[in-house]
Amino acid sequence: ERFIHLCRASSNTALVSMVDTILAPLLDHIQRTWSKACSKEKNSAMASVFLGLLRFHLSLPRSILDPGRKPVAKVALMESEIESLEGQIATEMVYRCMTRGSLMPNDELRGRVNNLKRKVSNQKKKVIARDTTTSFSELY
């Protein structure tokens, strides 16, 4: 019980997500294996199944993106945000031109755009170019 409570309070989200579905049943079957009340063979088999599930889930990568492609996804998100901010800047400039007669851009938005452009250039340096390979289904 105390171990399950500690796992639920963990900062590891993968571990927390497996507490009720894998860890608790695993510990339950291990405890039953040590007790004399139930079939040791059945409980040890079930414990090994849950242990295998635990090992499988812990071996899965946290991100579904290829680490070499992740910066490309970040760049795409940042570039779309830059386009949105530049659209806001243009809209504000047109509005200010019509209402006040000046084209002063919003410095806060300009700063955000410049910051994002700097981040985009840094992320582009992290991109790993891989050769295109055939998909698994095309191999057979």
Contact of 41 with 13, CB cutoff 8 Å: no
What span, in angstroms and rounded, lies between the C-alpha atoms of 121 and 138? Answer: 35
pLDDT tens digit sequence for 46-79: 888 888 888 887 787 766 666 777 888 889 999 9
Domain ranges of the chain: 2-59, 70-129
| Helix locations, 38-106, DSSP H | 40-59, 70-99
Length of the chain: 140
Q: Which residue has the tokens 């910051």?
A: 115
Assign 19 to helix, strand or coil: helix
**pLDDT per residue as tens digits for the range 116-139:** 999 999 998 888 777 766 665 565
80-106 residue pLDDT tens? 999 999 999 888 888 888 888 777 777
